[in-house]
Amino acid sequence: VNGLQARTFGVWTLLASVIRCLCAIDIRNRTLYYITLFTFFLALIHFLSEVFIYHTAALTIGVMAPLMVASFSILGMLIGLQYLEVEELSQNKKKN
């Protein structure tokens, strides 16, 4: 890894964390929710491709930790998405 790659990965990680924090603040914002979910899919695909396609990373704890975080976060957000839709439907009924 050279310096440019390290800085690019660092900026990408910072951007993803800012998006995730903004989603935590405004969890009912559907667009932000989907963007946050996409960041976890992107991280999962990135780490899986590095291990299984490009073979540039070994399946060690340093790689398994982000894989587990991304996987559990995707699962949790998909479950949470159902509650977000139910809440939106109930608010629409109250308005009518």
Q: What is the pLDDT along the chain (96 residues), one digit of tens a residue?
A: 799 999 999 999 999 999 999 999 999 999 999 999 999 999 999 999 999 999 999 999 999 999 999 999 999 999 999 988 887 777 777 776
CA proximity to 87, closest of 23, 28, 22: 28
Instruction: Output the six-digit token pair for 35.
Output: 């963007």
Q: For 26, list phi and psi in degrees, rounded to 5.
A: -120, 70
In angstroms, the first-to-last Cα distance of the chain is: 58
Q: Identity (one letter) of the amino acid at 7?
A: R
Instruction: Count up the domains in the chain and report the number.
Output: 1
Structural domain of 24: 3-95
Task: Name the token pair of 91.
Answer: 């608010």
- Could you tell me if 40 and 81 are in contact, meaning their C-beta atoms sit under 8 angstroms apart? no
